[in-house]
Structure 1
């Protein structure tokens, strides 16, 4: 009787451990949060997708935004006869094609936001309020690698694929009727796959998320319970920024849906490789042990026999601790844990 009850209790504990290990509550919270964000975005949508009538250009005949107007290729073709249409007026005023997130704003997303975040992280570390899993130098180097890899992959694929954009016909009309200030759109009109805005924003934002998860893994003893769950949820927020950027590219007819998804995948892969190979790379390259986020947990466990009569074992731990200014554990220093009597020796 007692053994059966003990077995059921052990099974219940094992199931609870599996739930905690796989972070089931956190994943449920993330899914619910994303669903709420999608619902809010649907409720506050300001304009519907525009499908031009008598679309002779097919999937590449979507309009381009000029000021307050959405102009198709046929709308712009009338400008050659000095039409008084709204599109022609916007074109004569030299308006640039509309982008919800332009290149300058994209720079802010993938450079300024990560730089500001890591600056705050470093300040909290210096004040002793946070223990980072990697130094500021490692984090910045990883960010540079992440963004550089994302740019290289995105540009290479754009050149090899050369896919026309959804608003390709309208962009070509702008080049034809808009004068020299629109010539830069000629090459841009056939660089649809993958979305550079999506890949770069996801690279910067997902990199922040991965560094946050690494810090949480490194400081598991300090962040427990609801605090750990709250920080895990907050670390997802940067990804939502990238999702909004990608959605804006579809809504503005600069990209197809698969362009954006491919860009997100490239950016996420670049961030993951940067975190694994650069930011948390010490154990990866030296053969040490890491947790699932790539954070250095300990060196290989250098076990040494001590004493002639079966003395205790001592474990050399090589854990990096960038949140402490003491000599213990800084820069890969060592701590000797356990001796003949089980004491901890500094």
Structure 2
């Protein structure tokens, strides 16, 4: 019991450490990439509000997996459902943490200007000396953190992970009714991730390559972490069921 408690504490503590690291990296100034005057047109797109604000991204990241796990808990008849859901929580939270650190680190190292960087540098639209910006310093620095798109990497990390969970947990190949509808509903998280990612290109906060790069990063992390935790779940379930059988046999012997 003590080892189990220490294991949970270490798991949760490591994820908190990842998020603290992410918040710390977000404050770092990015690499200042030299921009030629001839390139300015590439970063001169309008500065407009986000189509999908950050708060909605967080709601999707947390809300969709939570909804799926609640439905799974209510509908599942597996004896190991508690262990499964606990391990799934550890899995998806680890995927988010790894993605957060990697995304923030790449933004700082690469320092790619956003499509609307010019208007972050010169809010009044007047100026050519990119080394002497007149705009807010924080906005300028954020304007140099285009690659990869965090909206894209986070949404694909969570939505790919939860889609893998659904297809691993349930058999969608032979539903009792509305086969096409059920399959479409299972793919909705991926569709949502695509919509969120493309919105960052449409509102000029990212280049298309930023969005694609973020999607690849998020998908890769989700695949690797889900595979690891799926194998871990199988082993845990096997040991748990063996323990139940041993207890059952012991009870029968006592009787």
TM-score, structure 2 length as denominator?
0.68
**Cα distance in 2 for residues equivalent to 1:135 and 1:107:** 24
**Which ranges of structure 1 fall in alignment gaps of 5 or more residues?**
1-54, 66-97, 284-295, 297-317, 321-328, 337-346
Relative contact order higher in (CA < 8 Å, ≥ 6 apart): 2
- The Cα shift of 1:169 comes to 0.4
How big is each residue's C-alpha offset from its partner over 1:29-62, in whole Å with a ceiling of 9 and x where there is no partner? Answer: xxxxxxxxxxxxxxxxxxxxxxxxxx98221111
**Cα distance in 1 for residues equivalent to 2:223 and 2:82:** 15
**Cα distance in 2 for residues equivalent to 1:191 and 1:201:** 18
**Which ranges of structure 2 fall in alignment gaps of 5 or more residues?**
1-37, 125-132, 246-255
**Cα distance in 1 for residues equivalent to 2:205 and 2:241:** 48
Larger radius of gyration: 1
1:185 correspondence with 2:136 = no
3-state SS of 2:191 partner: helix
- The Cα shift of 1:117 comes to 2.3
| Contact 1:319–1:333, Cα closer than 8 Å, also in 2 | no
1:266 correspondence with 2:217 = yes
3-state SS of 2:198 partner: helix
1:138 correspondence with 2:47 = no
**Cα distance in 1 for residues equivalent to 2:79 and 2:114:** 46
Distance change >3 Å, CA 59–CA 332, structure 1 → 2: farther
**Cα distance in 1 for residues equivalent to 2:57 and 2:146:** 17
How big is each residue's C-alpha offset from its partner over 1:167-220, in whole Å with a ceiling of 9 and x where there is no partner? Answer: 110111249666xxx442121100011101000011111111000010125x98
1:162 correspondence with 2:111 = yes
3-state SS of 1:140 partner: helix
TM-score, structure 1 length as denominator?
0.51
Distance change >3 Å, CA 131–CA 227, structure 1 → 2: farther
**Cα distance in 2 for residues equivalent to 1:200 and 1:264:** 8
1:173 correspondence with 2:133 = no
Q: CA RMSD in A?
A: 3.2
User: 1:58 is matched with which residue?
Assistant: 41
**Cα distance in 1 for residues equivalent to 2:216 and 2:62:** 19
Distance change >3 Å, CA 214–CA 224, structure 1 → 2: same
The aligned length equals: 200
Aligned match of 2:231 in 253, 260, 281? Answer: 281
**Cα distance in 2 for residues equivalent to 1:243 and 1:201:** 8
- Give the number of the structure whose residues are more often helix, by fraction: 2
Distance change >3 Å, CA 281–CA 254, structure 1 → 2: same
User: 1:93 is matched with which residue?
Assistant: none
| Contact 2:51–2:199, Cα closer than 8 Å, also in 1 | yes
User: 1:194 is matched with which residue?
Assistant: 148
User: 2:199 is matched with which residue?
Assistant: 248
How big is each residue's C-alpha offset from its partner over 1:50-100, in whole Å with a ceiling of 9 and x where there is no partner? Answer: xxxxx98221111102xxxxxxxxxxxxxxxxxxxxxxxxxxxxxxxx011
| Contact 1:133–1:214, Cα closer than 8 Å, also in 2 | no
User: 2:242 is matched with which residue?
Assistant: 333
- The Cα shift of 1:133 comes to 11
- The Cα shift of 1:273 comes to 1.2
User: 1:212 is matched with which residue?
Assistant: 166
**Cα distance in 2 for residues equivalent to 1:154 and 1:198:** 10
**Cα distance in 1 for residues equivalent to 2:134 and 2:232:** 57
3-state SS of 1:63 partner: coil
**Cα distance in 1 for residues equivalent to 2:44 and 2:166:** 43
